[in-house]
């Protein structure tokens, strides 16, 4: 009886070894693991800086000889729109090479204006001040760009992927505040806090851009991007102060 048990055990052992050594099981043990599908939707935040000024700068001096006495008018407009921007971002990969996205971006906008009228003594010398006006205007600017993307490499590839982008933008204006001061030739100053309304509280725009996307092993996506936006209407339009319709900016987005 013991001999039969030993023989049966040896047969089972030989069968197990044969099955383990079969080509099918060898192929199964050497099978390359399937790459996990990367999620298409990612949400995060964006920071960046504006390269162009938000309001057109002005610095002029105009002599007027038709008045008595002749006068010289000096005008200065200085953009005070913040160069930085912050906000949230959402991205969705539609296919291997196409994607869509939207941002909600905030910056503080505004300008300072100074206009002074003085007597003209000579062509190079001003006399007594006749009138001086200054204006400081600030507002909150909320930009919502809605974009499409084309990647030059499929999303399944490892490494960085360059892309081009384009779409529409919307700008909303709120919280506008103005401080105006007028000083006469007797050096009496009058201050007015009446807000000068924006030329447009909603401004549409179109934009194009280019950039590169990189991702790490844990799924964090980093987008380095350059954008050009053309605003179709001005936000500020008060005397010599006018919004710059062209906006260039660089930004970096982190999405997860």
Dump pLDDT digits (tens) for 120-129.
Answer: 766 556 678 8
Q: What is the mean pLDDT of the chain?
A: 87
Residue 198 backbone phi and psi in degrees, to 5 = -65, 155
Q: Which has more pLDDT, 206 or 157?
A: 206
**Distance, CA of 123 to CA of 62 (rounded, Å):** 10
What's residue 30's pLDDT?
A: 52
pLDDT over 80 at 200, yes or no: yes
Q: Which has more pLDDT, 113 or 29?
A: 113
56-90 pLDDT per residue, tens: 999 998 988 777 778 899 999 999 999 999 999 99
Mean pLDDT across 192-202: 94
Q: How is residue 91 written in tokens?
A: 């991205």
* Whether the Cβ atoms of residue 151 and residue 159 lie closer than 8 Å to each other: no
What's residue 37's pLDDT?
A: 61
* Whether the Cβ atoms of residue 176 and residue 139 lie closer than 8 Å to each other: yes
Mean pLDDT across 218-226: 94
Q: Which has more pLDDT, 136 or 5?
A: 136
* DSSP E strand boundaries for the chain: 41-50, 58-64, 71-79, 84-93, 98-122, 125-151, 161-184, 189-192, 202-215, 221-231, 237-238, 241-242, 246-255
Using CB atoms within 10 Å of the CB of residue 72, give its burial: 0 to 12 exposed, 13 to 18 middle, 19+ buried: buried
pLDDT over 90 at 224, yes or no: yes
Task: From 245, 243, 252, select the one nearest 206 (Cα to Cα).
Answer: 245
């Amino acid at each position: 009886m013991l001999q039969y048990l030993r023989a049966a055990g040896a047969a089972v052992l030989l069968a197990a070894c044969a099955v383990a050594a079969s080509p099918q099981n060898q192929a199964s043990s050497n099978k390359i693991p399937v790459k996990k599908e990367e999620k298409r939707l990612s949400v995060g935040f964006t920071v960046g800086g504006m390269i162009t000024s938000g309001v057109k700068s002005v610095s002029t001096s105009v002599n007027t000889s038709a008045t008595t006495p002749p006068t010289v008018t000096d005008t200065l407009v200085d953009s005070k729109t913040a160069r930085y921007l912050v906000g949230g971002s959402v991205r969705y990969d539609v296919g291997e090479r196409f994607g869509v996205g939207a941002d909600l971006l905030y910056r503080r906008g505004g300008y300072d204006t100074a206009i002074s009228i003085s007597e003209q003594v000579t062509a190079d010398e001003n006399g007594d001040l006749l009138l001086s006006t200054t204006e400081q205007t600030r507002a909150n600017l909320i930009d919502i760009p809605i974009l499409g993307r084309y990647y030059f490499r499929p999303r399944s590839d490892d490494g960085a992927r360059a892309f081009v982008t384009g779409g529409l933008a919307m700008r909303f204006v709120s919280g506008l505040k103005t401080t105006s001061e007028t000083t006469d030739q007797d050096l009496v100053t009058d201050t007015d806090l009446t807000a000068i309304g924006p030329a447009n509280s909603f401004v549409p725009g179109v934009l194009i851009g280019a950039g590169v996307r990189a991702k790490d092993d844990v799924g964090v996506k980093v987008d380095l991007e350059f954008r050009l936006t053309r605003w179709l209407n001005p936000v500020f339009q008060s005397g010599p102060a006018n919004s710059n319709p062209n906006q260039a900016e660089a930004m970096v987005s982190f999405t997860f």
